[in-house]
Amino acid sequence: MSPSKVSTIEWDKFYNIVDGQNRLAKSVHNGVNPSTAEKLWDVPIATEQDLEDAIASARKVFPSWSQTPIDKRRELLKKYGETIMQYEEEFTTLLGKENGKPQLFANGEVKAMSLWLGWHLKLEIPEETFEDDDKVIKTRYMPLGVCGAICPWNYPLLLSLGKIVPAVLTGNTIIVKPSPFTPYTSLKLIELAQEVFPPGVVQVIGGNDKLGASMTTHPGIDKISFTGSIPTGKKVMEACAKTLKRVTLELGGNDATIILPDVDVEKVAPEVAMGAFQNSGQVCVATKRIYIHESIYQPFLDAMVRFTKSIKVGGYDEEGVLLGPIQNSMQYEKVKGYFNDTKVNGYKFAVGQPDVAAGKGFFVQPTIIDNPPEDSKIVQEEPFGPIVPAMPYSDLEDAIARANNTLTGLGATVWGKDVEAAEKVAFRLEAGSVWVNSYEKPTPQALFGGVKQSGLGGEWGKTGLLAYLNPHVIHVYKTK
């Protein structure tokens, strides 16, 4: 980790940022450190007036910001990246405290910001020209205006920055609303943005779900980029329809993986388990259903179990920890519901215990359920925790049909030694992103989005920029 600069930022005081200024509020709320269940610092709950002021500031600066040459916007974004990374250590610790992820992974998320930012700096806004005998048609893309970013708690830093960067690069202004469970890192991320961008370009208002709902109906916001659950995503889309706002929805999923019979069991099984348990299963594209060819079902399951038993679960600051706690008590109770359902129905725990041990933090041991029925809760739903079902299949067509038999379609994975054959299976899986011989690893280099009820549109990659742009087509007739 690079040493941090002498900090001018106070890492234990948190503000909303409106029109370039730090703002407090009459009401406050608190996050909870999931490793200890202890209350964290006070965070101001932004009022409707804060939202109005933020929108006014964002609208005021939009004409000049959108006209600022893209090279200048790039230069400022680069500087922003450098500014953030001067505080790598502080962000890593703060993220560990608010979210629970172990230091190695918290630092990984902080470093990923640099990757996301750096990659976007290479992008150009596309332009297209069509010409025939009597006319030239130029298709350009214009920024949308004021964007609202509504974010979840599982990757609070990366998912905020992942909206800020494309929005600002394309000439939009943006107001971020972090999850009330993990407000701290986002508030600091945007406090630092004030050292670089003109007031109103990047703002943050922390608050509860009500504030998110107000953003979705407000006529002064032109676009909502929402990452979160499917039920909330539906509410967001409905609310956005009132003003016909542009909307991008990055929602949940129930990612299947298909293990073909020719895999190297010892090599692949631990990776598949990691795909399921990464970030304690709290990843929208974590592996959530494992279909294994019957000819290798038992050895593959045994290898996953051996690896799973070697995983150390613990607090964010403990040595050698691979998995941290569940991020919040609400989610913890929800995950426990999947354990209970599995226990009550008598399904077999290949590894893990039916009863989640009570303790101070929200800890759950990684757990694999051996061949539960296809219509069970653990197979049909997204637990968003470290519990995953494994099932044998005999016929590949049947495995593909089972993988696709869901209302969601965010990610999927296929593993096989014959890469061409695995890729053929990948093409048949109904998901926004499919990984072959890797667990789910989103990257800034490619569009990320879901099909079916996993979302609408997508972000990142070259085409992801279009989510922040309106087409503007000029038809020029040569002579009359």
Catalytic residues: 250
User: C-beta of 148: minimal distance to ligand NAD in Å?
Assistant: 9
Decide: is 334 part of the binding site for ligand NAD (CB under 6 A): no
Separation of alpha carbons 432 and 448, rounded Å: 7
Asked if residues 223 and 245 have their Cβ atoms less than 8 Å apart, the reply is: yes
- The two three-digit tokens of residue 419, written as one number: 């890469």
Interaction between residue 149 and ligand NAD (CB under 6 A): no
180 binds ligand NAD, rule: CB under 6 A: yes
Q: Which residue is nearest to ligand NAD (CB)?
A: 212
- Beta carbon of residue 260, minimum distance to ligand NAD (angstroms, whole number): 26
Binding span for ligand NAD by CB under 6 A among 68-76, 205-213, 333-341, 421-429? 205-213
Q: Are 246 and 222 in contact (CB under 8 A)?
A: yes
Mark 63-102 with x for binding to ligand NAD (rule: CB under 6 A) and - for no binding: ----------------------------------------
Under the binding rule (CB under 6 A), the answer on residue 172 touching ligand NAD is no
- Cβ–Cβ under 8 Å, residues 119 and 445: yes
Q: Of 80, 87, 153, 277, which one interacts with ligand NAD (CB under 6 A)?
A: 153
Q: Which of 19, 42, 90, 209 binds ligand NAD (CB under 6 A)?
A: 209
Question: Closest separation between CB of residue 216 and ligand NAD, Å?
Answer: 5
Residue 431 CB-density burial (10 A; 0-12 exposed, 13-18 middle, 19+ buried)? buried
DSSP tag of 459? B
- Select the span of 134-142, 206-214, 312-320, 366-374 touching ligand NAD (CB under 6 A): 206-214
Long-range contacts of residues 333-337, Cβ cutoff 8 Å, at least 24 apart:
334/383, 334/384, 334/385, 335/281, 335/364, 335/383, 335/384, 335/385, 335/386, 335/387, 336/364
The side-by-side arrangement of strands in the sheet containing 246-250 is: 21-23, 16-18, 202-204, 173-177, 146-150, 223-227, 246-250, 455-456
Minimum distance between the CB of residue 235 and ligand NAD, rounded to whole angstroms?
4
Q: Compare residues 389 and 455 and give the one whose CB is closer to ligand NAD.
A: 455
> What value, to the nearest 5°, has the Cα angle with vertex 361 and ends 358 and 367?
65
| Cβ closest to ligand NAD, residue 73 vs residue 223 | 223
The answer to whether residue 179 forms part of the interface with ligand NAD (CB under 6 A) is yes
Q: How far is the CB of 191 from ligand NAD (least distance, A)?
A: 18
Return the residue of 96, 166, 206, 212 that touches ligand NAD, per CB under 6 A.
212
- The least distance separating ligand NAD from the CB of residue 274, rounded to whole angstroms, comes to 18
- The alpha carbon of residue 12 and the mean position of all alpha carbons in its chain are separated, in whole angstroms, by 25
Instruction: Tell me: does residue 383 bind ligand NAD (CB under 6 A).
Output: no
CA distance 342 to 320: 30
Question: Could you say whether residue 152 binds ligand NAD (CB under 6 A)?
Answer: yes
For residue 145, give the amino acid letter.
Answer: G
State in angstroms the smallest separation of the CB of 330 from ligand NAD.
8
Report yes or no: 451 and 430 within 8 Å, Cβ to Cβ: yes
State the Cα–Cα distance between residues 248 and 236, nearest whole angstrom.
Answer: 10
Nearer to ligand NAD, 53 or 440 (CB): 440
Q: What is the rounded (10 degree) CA torsion for 208, 214, 220, 225? A: 60
Q: In whole angstroms, what is the distance from residue 19 CA to residue 16 CA?
A: 10
Site string for ligand NAD, 434-463 (x = CB under 6 A): ----------------x----x--------
Residue 388 interacting with ligand NAD (CB under 6 A)? no
Say how many residues touch ligand NAD, by CB under 6 A.
27
Nearer to ligand NAD, 31 or 416 (CB): 31
Q: Candidates 123-131, 250-258, 371-379, 400-408: pick the segment binding ligand NAD (CB under 6 A).
A: 250-258
Strands 28-33 and 38-44: antiparallel
Q: Where are the beta strands (DSSP E) in 86-154?
A: 128-131, 135-143, 146-150
Q: Quick one: 251 or 412, whose CB is closer to ligand NAD?
A: 251
* Stretch 220-239: interaction string toward ligand NAD, x if CB under 6 A: -------xxx--x--xx---
185 binds ligand NAD (CB under 6 A): no
384 binds ligand NAD (CB under 6 A): yes
Which value, in Å, is the radius of gyration of the alpha carbons in the chain? Answer: 23
Binding flag, residue 250, ligand NAD (CB under 6 A): yes
Angle, CA 253 vertex, CA 104 and CA 225 arms, to 5° = 80
Q: What's the half-sphere exposure (Cβ side, CA atoms, 13 Å) at 14?
A: 29
Selected from 77, 273, 410, 422, the binder of ligand NAD by CB under 6 A is: 410
Closer residue to ligand NAD (CB): 35 or 216: 216
Residues making contact with ligand NAD (CB under 6 A) = 150-154, 177, 179-180, 209, 212-213, 216, 227-229, 232, 235-236, 250-252, 284, 382, 384, 410, 450, 455
